[in-house]
Structure 1
């Protein structure tokens, strides 16, 4: 696909506004999203200038190679508050978004960019500038709100504490020409939560890098992991991956497995990858439920370990109470694993009952127990489900495909003009 500007023979120039990017700032889902989007847009010929917070002194850039990187201080509260705690984040992120948005706006005014693309709350700062400066409205503005956890948290205290964030999110994204929903099944959440005009919502899925994921697998590491976790005689092996926090629903899975312990084969094993504040409570729950000897909490694994482990398991189980796009589900799928997962967030776009796995009502122990029973009763279908999982990822959720869809959106906005129904200054 040609990445030149439709009206001028030069590359499309994009200002990508984000707080963090892998590997400079961590390993989370949004960090990896920004990294892979930048990587594959660059491969398509787009000149991406990445705006992110200043990295730690010891940060590694890896093969991150945007056209340019602009950095800005993020943490304005240390050592008084944790920079990403509930209070610290509400101070730091709006200031950061304001400053980085206005910095990008100055360059847009000088004609340096053809498109501005924001990630998460970074929409806010640029939206303020765009609502004040008419010239900025002639340059397309694309915004991606991601999972919007501030709108979905079941924790009443967090929901109240995040009220300012919800306003900033809604304001920032209402100023955008197009807002990206990362899953077809959640696209209506954007008009619902953010009050964005539905005509401005486009679906471009989040993705994984298939080539990169499969390249992480090491045969010698698979052997080492089998020995390390005692998997040689285990059957079947269930795997869950995620932060050990209440919203991930691992307590629900423990309750379901406890109900099934007399029906499961005698050598079954459940491996849990991840760390978090709920780990001790989950370990105690597994002990009290009588399944501790079958359960293994292994903490965090690096990428090579995790992708090698995916090759050793039989069934991926993701009992989350709420979720964004669920990249770990895609990771399991590209390794040809069947999936039992909650019907929440973007998961129903990836897991299709009877085709590559089964869906569960989130937080429902009875339903999770029933669906695990159904999966175990149809174990002969797991290889076919796994093959279908791989096919789904390769056809829809691989980054080269998704980056090309993003570039096509840029080209449409530049070729046909941005939406004429621009927000007013009173919004």
Structure 2
């Protein structure tokens, strides 16, 4: 048993009066630093840990405008169990994007080292019972911990997330990402537990990071079901229908993601072009997102002869996006590589059937014939066939939608996943 804690617990407590104290090592958190998957993961994780009585400090970079985070932005701060500690991330020239490939190679090593120093000093002072890192933030603390027996007495949990540095098909990115792959591998091999965010991807950690299989723990990424459902607004639904001209459209397909090559939207354009003579006259495809590929995708849609049916919606805020989910019929996610895929979960909680690539964590969420279709990533013919099959089975879409909801509520809702995280902490503290 770890000396700082008893093995039994109640609602996340290490004893009747003492909560587990966690150092959460991250760089970004929603909504302070953006809307991406890792930002949302960190924000929801600390909030739901706090609801289970877990206390801690969230280490992140400062807010863009330098303001102090508020409980409205991070609800975990509201009850006093959590606090935020910020430290500088961007050390590059204003002319160099801090999160570009070159900028990250300069900023991340220094940030994760400084992060490790701060966390290690606090652990030595007895301030934390568990250290939990997100993404590349494991590396600095891992290097310090490996050389300090005192730090190794405190459990260390590391979550690598999607590991896109290992999955890119672009050889130029593959070479540029080499330092990040080394940092990922080193940091997560040093952890007591490395988290796989889906059961179907747990073998990726031994494969890519050379983490010992017995060190891998499966704790899914999740969405907050209550929050997602609460974002839907009838007035927004009506405004979106009018703005996008949806009243005369059937069926309505929706895709959501950054407009980048790896999201596979060019594959979906090719698949839809193969079906244009079979699709109903009023079909629509809405593409939500922004990115450098927009012009190329618009040209591809024109060349394929389907531009009249395609709407590039651009960026939507959370309320707009969740309201739009309620207005569409089928969600298609043709990604070429993926992490856990929160977009898929968001669509599922709105009772949507899904067609998605069988890559990353998606096969734990989408099941052919149960709530949609899985297709091989990058396969135009298979994607076209799946859309055709889905259209033929349209009477099953309500049933598939209900199955989507059941899957999310029983496996991928944050209250469930936060409890699994607390159980992981206790398994390490009580071994």
Q: Following the alignment from structure 2 to structure 1, what is the Cα–Cα distance between the partners of residues 328 and 12?
A: 41
Instruction: Note if 1:4 corresponds to 2:19.
Output: no
1:314-393 paired onto structure 2 within 5 Å: 314-393=329-408
Deviation at 1:63, TM superposition (A): 3.8
Residue-by-residue CA offset, 1:117-164 (whole Å, 9 max, x unaligned): 000000001001101111000000000000001111111001001111
Instruction: Note if 1:220 corresponds to 2:228.
Output: no
For the Cα contact (< 8 Å) 2:158–2:193, is it kept in 1? yes
Q: Following the alignment from structure 1 to structure 2, what is the Cα–Cα distance between the partners of residues 78 and 235?
A: 50
Normalising by the residue count of structure 2, what TM-score does the alignment of the two structures yield?
A: 0.95
Q: 1:256 aligns with which of 264, 267, 271?
A: 271
Deviation at 1:58, TM superposition (A): 6.3
Aligned twin of 1:408: 423
1:56-71 paired onto structure 2 within 5 Å: 56-57=64-65, 61=70, 62-64=72-74, 65-66=76-77, 67-71=82-86
Aligned twin of 1:33: 41
For the Cα contact (< 8 Å) 2:32–2:73, is it kept in 1? no
Secondary structure of the structure 1 residue equivalent to 2:195 = strand
Q: 2:28 aligns with which of 13, 20, 24?
A: 20
For the Cα contact (< 8 Å) 2:31–2:73, is it kept in 1? no
Q: Following the alignment from structure 2 to structure 1, what is the Cα–Cα distance between the partners of residues 401 and 17?
A: 45
For the Cα contact (< 8 Å) 2:158–2:194, is it kept in 1? yes
Aligned twin of 1:201: 216
Deviation at 1:80, TM superposition (A): 3.9
Aligned twin of 1:136: 151
Q: What are structure 1's unaligned runs of at least 5 residues?
A: 417-427
Q: 1:246 aligns with which of 236, 261, 265?
A: 261
Q: Following the alignment from structure 1 to structure 2, what is the Cα–Cα distance between the partners of residues 35 and 228?
A: 32
Secondary structure of the structure 1 residue equivalent to 2:374 = strand
Q: Following the alignment from structure 2 to structure 1, what is the Cα–Cα distance between the partners of residues 126 and 151?
A: 10
**Once superposed, what is the RMSD of the aligned Cα atoms?**
1.0
Residue-by-residue CA offset, 1:163-195 (whole Å, 9 max, x unaligned): 111111100001100000000001000000000
Aligned twin of 1:47: 55
Secondary structure of the structure 2 residue equivalent to 1:132 = coil
Aligned twin of 1:298: 313
Residue-by-residue CA offset, 1:202-243 (whole Å, 9 max, x unaligned): 100000000000000000110000000000010000000000
Q: 1:231 aligns with which of 246, 249, 271?
A: 246
Q: Following the alignment from structure 2 to structure 1, what is the Cα–Cα distance between the partners of residues 192 and 411?
A: 24
Q: Following the alignment from structure 2 to structure 1, what is the Cα–Cα distance between the partners of residues 19 and 94?
A: 43
Deviation at 1:102, TM superposition (A): 1.1
Name the stretch that deviates more: 77-86 or 238-247. Answer: 77-86
For the Cα contact (< 8 Å) 2:139–2:187, is it kept in 1? yes
Secondary structure of the structure 1 residue equivalent to 2:430 = helix
For the Cα contact (< 8 Å) 1:315–1:338, is it kept in 2? yes
1:175-186 paired onto structure 2 within 5 Å: 175-186=190-201
For the Cα contact (< 8 Å) 1:41–1:48, is it kept in 2? no
Secondary structure of the structure 2 residue equivalent to 1:206 = coil
Deviation at 1:78, TM superposition (A): 2.5
For the Cα contact (< 8 Å) 1:343–1:360, is it kept in 2? yes
Q: Following the alignment from structure 2 to structure 1, what is the Cα–Cα distance between the partners of residues 107 and 65?
A: 20
Q: Following the alignment from structure 1 to structure 2, what is the Cα–Cα distance between the partners of residues 272 and 116?
A: 39
Q: Following the alignment from structure 1 to structure 2, what is the Cα–Cα distance between the partners of residues 186 and 158?
A: 22
Q: Following the alignment from structure 2 to structure 1, what is the Cα–Cα distance between the partners of residues 83 and 286?
A: 41
**Structure 1: 4+ residue segments shifted above 6 A:** none
Instruction: Note if 1:126 corresponds to 2:134.
Output: no
Q: Following the alignment from structure 2 to structure 1, what is the Cα–Cα distance between the partners of residues 366 and 126?
A: 44
Residue-by-residue CA offset, 1:234-292 (whole Å, 9 max, x unaligned): 00000000000000000000000001000000100000000000000000110111101
